[in-house]
Homo-oligomer: A and B are copies of this chain.
Amino acid sequence: MSAQRIDIQPVKGTRDFYPEDMRRRQWLFEHWRQISRRFGFEEYDACVLENEALYIRKAGDEITGQLYNFEDKGGRRVALRPEMTPTLARMILAKGASLPQPLRWYTIAQCFRYERAQRGRKREHYQWNMDIVGLAHVAAEVELMSAQAAFLEAVGLQPESIAFKVSHRGILQHHLAGLGIDGERFAAVCVIVDKHDKIGPEATATLLAEQGVDAATATAILQLLSVRGIDALAETVSDDNPGLADLRELLNLAEAAGIADRMTIDCSVVRGLSYYTGTVWECFDASGEVPRAVAGGGRYDALLQHLGGEATPMVGFGFGDVVILDLLEGRGLLPADDKGIDEVVYPLSADEFAAATRLAAARRADGQRVCVDYSQRRFKHVIARAEADGASRLLILGAAEVAKGIYKERSLSTREEREQPLPS
């Protein structure tokens, strides 16, 4: 090899996980896994590399425009997956009837997007997904929101600090159809409504006008978006709006699940993805300090059919690692850093390496998490490193100890030392 000077940065927009970062990440993932298991969900995964065709949808999907896609050496159009749901759909299609429904599956998947440089936005993140396949009842939605709520409580967020904003594509669709907006125009209006939260009612009205929506209709749409709560919604939309019964039942079960107190019905929530068909929801920090959604989900009963299979009820959520870790860090809810080392074996010189190796093997077999400090550095350096690593005990081996068949066990908290027999 010849010497070179390499770029020591990770690829633009991607993250390195040094041990300290990795411990935070694994702490988060372990909570996600525990909650998923508590709800009886099974974990699945697939390769981060996917067929590009899975993501090519109609206009209006931000995700299609932000694909991290390329052509491989074999001429295949492939992409680093931007989200996991199309992969889930593909896997279910591939197995067909051999998978007993309903399925309750979860995954923790790295997802990519390629977008022009923008401050604070990464090109990859990890996303916890839970999906229920084959259950048309909103009980599925409540299971998923309950899991999200259980996770948020497990990591120390009080119920009142989280707000679920819940809407229903069917309510919007039925209401807009009553106003004469359907088909392609409905999709276009959804794209606009999705921006409403960021751009406000005036800009929304302007965009609606550009789509040929007349002023009275635009006012009616904006009025729907400003409605909060199921009773006000029932007064606004017609009694035969099919999503209304769904949302009533959802709130009923949410009450039973103990999470109704943090729910708001809010039709301004649309979520970007074009495949949603029923309920959609987003989960926010109730204080409003974090402007981006912590998580979101929705029902997409038509996706399998659009990919060439049978129509199948599906509902799921995505929960990214970035926003929640920022939020938890801001609240001081991340755990203290712990390297997980119990004992450090310290041979004073290379003459004691064999005894140190034997001692470490015996202690590890005994269930201890053990490092050997083979550095042959002076006591103060070794003890400083052992303390920095968070070890509880230093096991000291000099020539005298080995000759006596013992080692000195020093407590790093009390500094007390005692002699212990060396294993043979």
Q: Which residues of A line the B interface, CB within 8 A?
A: 1-12, 14-19, 22-23, 25-26, 37-40, 42-51, 53-54, 57-58, 68, 70-74, 76, 78, 80, 90-91, 93-95, 100, 102, 104-105, 110, 112, 114, 124, 135, 137, 139-140, 142-143, 146, 150, 252-253, 255-258, 274-275, 302-303, 305-308, 339-341, 344, 350, 353-355, 357-358, 360-361, 364, 367-372, 374-375, 385, 388-389
Contact for A18 among B44, B100, B253, B255, CB less than 8 A: B44
CB pair B364 A72 closer than 8 Å: no
A50 to chain B: which residues have CB within 8 Å? 10-11
* Sample of 4 further A-B pairs with CB below 8 A, known A8-B93, A19-B105: A1-B302, A18-B91, A19-B42, A23-B43
Q: What copy number does this chain have within its complex?
A: 2
* Complex CA distance for A358 and B252, rounded to whole angstroms: 11
CB pair B10 A47 closer than 8 Å: yes
A375 to chain B: which residues have CB within 8 Å? 102, 135
A140 to chain B: which residues have CB within 8 Å? 374
Given A253-B353, A372-B143, A375-B135, A48:B46 Cβ within 8 A: no
CB pair A357 B76 closer than 8 Å: no
CB pair B306 A46 closer than 8 Å: no
A23 to chain B: which residues have CB within 8 Å? 42-43
CB pair B374 A139 closer than 8 Å: yes
* Complex CA distance for A110 and B9, rounded to whole angstroms: 20
Contact for A308 among B5, B135, B143, CB less than 8 A: B5
Contact for A16 among B46, B252, B374, CB less than 8 A: B46
A341 to chain B: which residues have CB within 8 Å? 40
Residue of B nearest to A16 (CB): B46
Smallest CB–CB gap between A220 and chain B, Å? 26
CB pair A6 B370 closer than 8 Å: no
CB pair B1 A51 closer than 8 Å: no
CB pair B364 A2 closer than 8 Å: no
Residue of B nearest to A22 (CB): B43
CB pair B26 A43 closer than 8 Å: yes
Given A1-B57, A7-B53, A51-B7, A354:B255 Cβ within 8 A: yes
Smallest CB–CB gap between A255 and chain B, Å? 7
* Complex CA distance for A49 and B123, rounded to whole angstroms: 11
Query: Can you report 11 residue pairs joining A to B where beta carbons are below 8 Å apart?
Result: A3-B307, A4-B307, A8-B93, A11-B49, A26-B43, A39-B364, A39-B371, A70-B70, A137-B350, A142-B357, A256-B358
* Complex CA distance for A388 and B358, rounded to whole angstroms: 47
* Complex CA distance for A68 and B72, rounded to whole angstroms: 8
* Complex CA distance for A72 and B14, rounded to whole angstroms: 13
CB pair A372 B306 closer than 8 Å: no
Contact for A306 among B2, B74, B353, CB less than 8 A: B2
CB pair A1 B371 closer than 8 Å: no
Contact for A10 among B16, B46, B72, B307, CB less than 8 A: B46
Of all A-B residue pairs in the complex, the 7 with the closest CB atoms, nearest first, are: A40-B371, A14-B47, A19-B42, A5-B308, A256-B354, A256-B357, A17-B45
* Complex CA distance for A95 and B255, rounded to whole angstroms: 51
* Complex CA distance for A5 and B375, rounded to whole angstroms: 61
Smallest CB–CB gap between A140 and chain B, Å? 7
CB pair B1 A47 closer than 8 Å: no
